[in-house]
Amino acid sequence: MEFEHRSVLLDECIEGLNIKPDGIYVDGTLGGAGHSYEIAKRLNKNGRLIGIDQDEDAIKAATERLREFDNVTIVRSNYENIRSILNGLGIEKVDGILLDLGVSSYQLDTIERGFSYKYDTQLDMRMDTRQSLTAKDIVNGYSEKELFRIIRDYGEDGFAQNIAKHIVKAREGSPINTTYELNEIIKAAIPAKMRANGHPSKKTFQAIRIECNRELDVLKNSMDDMIDLLADKGRLVIITFHSLEDRIVKSAMKKQENPCTCPPSFPVCVCGNVSKGKVITKKPILPSQREREENTRSKSAKLRIFEKEV
């Protein structure tokens, strides 16, 4: 299967990066290189693009897609390692960093990856197949309390407690191995009249995927590093796909714009925290109606941009 992933908010990302032909740019979630291709096209021989992805299939697809450019470096890793990756390449500062978060269309549609509740396959959900922890390990190994926490916090599902209880009860007989087995358990935990609002497994699958890949922790732990690595006027451009990611990005950007911790009653700042730049997007940029119609997976996308000021 070809690594097909329609780049969400493509034009808006490219505009948001404010690309300089001789600049250095990082695509931290390379995927099928849709965004990266457009970045590379705009660079001259002095410019440079570093593409990072932890998915082996994405690395193969992106390498093929970007083969015409000789100023592109592709690294198989997680963007949380961006500082050490750039250090290893002898790069101190970059002019732009792009993240397109969440799961790709390719990952969802490749049945054996186990990301989707639409196909019957083994529970996997690893973005990096080198890691040992799988969705199956989480479903069968986490305590009821831990399952409740991740389904409540990462899936924002009102039936989290009942779903966790049903999972634990079901696995007492034998391990839960497949997506369809899990579907049936989740379905039984949600009242019939409440199942009309989309697929009953959607929120739980999202929660397990986020836990399996540490998605929110990686994002939270990387925000300050990415902003620190930007050169003056460099930009951090991030697309999120659900409120949990967006909250982290919005909060971190706002804090870097206004890091003062002094009480509002203080006439002048005495904490010594200095602003590192400004949030370009006071409100997130959303996909156009046309894009939402043409690419249903863009519907929940939000784009936020931060510009470094030294």
pLDDT at site 112: 94
Q: Which two tokens stand for residue 34?
A: 């849709």
Do 14 and 102 lie in one domain? The reply is yes
Do 15 and 91 lie in one domain? The reply is yes
Cα 148 from Cα 169, distance rounded (Å):
13
Residue 181 covered by a domain: yes
Q: What is the CA radius of gyration of the chain?
A: 21
pLDDT at site 104: 85
pLDDT at site 95: 98
Domain that holds residue 18: 10-106+215-308
pLDDT at site 91: 98
- E strand segments, the chain: 24-27, 48-53, 72-76, 94-100, 230-240, 277-279, 302-308
Helix (H) or strand (E) holding 199: none
Burial 66-92 (b: 16+ CB within 10 A, else e): beebeebebbbbbbbbbeebbeeeeee
Cα 207 → chain centroid: 13
Residues near 174 by beta carbon (within 8 Å), at least 6 away in sequence: none
CATH code of 197's domain: 1.10.150.170
Residues near 283 by beta carbon (within 8 Å), at least 6 away in sequence: none
Residue 113 covered by a domain: no
Do 195 and 229 lie in one domain? The reply is no
pLDDT at site 192: 85
pLDDT at site 108: 87
- In the predicted model, residues of the chain with pLDDT beneath 50 are 1
Contact 217, 203 (CB under 8 A): no
Helix (H) or strand (E) holding 23: none
Do 64 and 125 lie in one domain? The reply is no
Do 209 and 221 lie in one domain? The reply is no
pLDDT at site 305: 98
pLDDT at site 2: 53
Do 18 and 100 lie in one domain? The reply is yes
For the chain, the domain total comes to 2
pLDDT at site 194: 79
Do 209 and 219 lie in one domain? The reply is no
CATH code of 263's domain: 3.40.50.150
Contact 130, 150 (CB under 8 A): no
Domain boundary among 198, 213, 228: 213
DSSP alpha helix (H) spans, 229-275:
243-257
Per-residue model confidence as pLDDT tens digits over 244-298: 999 999 999 999 999 999 998 999 889 989 999 999 999 999 999 999 999 888 9
pLDDT at site 165: 98
Residue 111 covered by a domain: no
pLDDT at site 88: 98
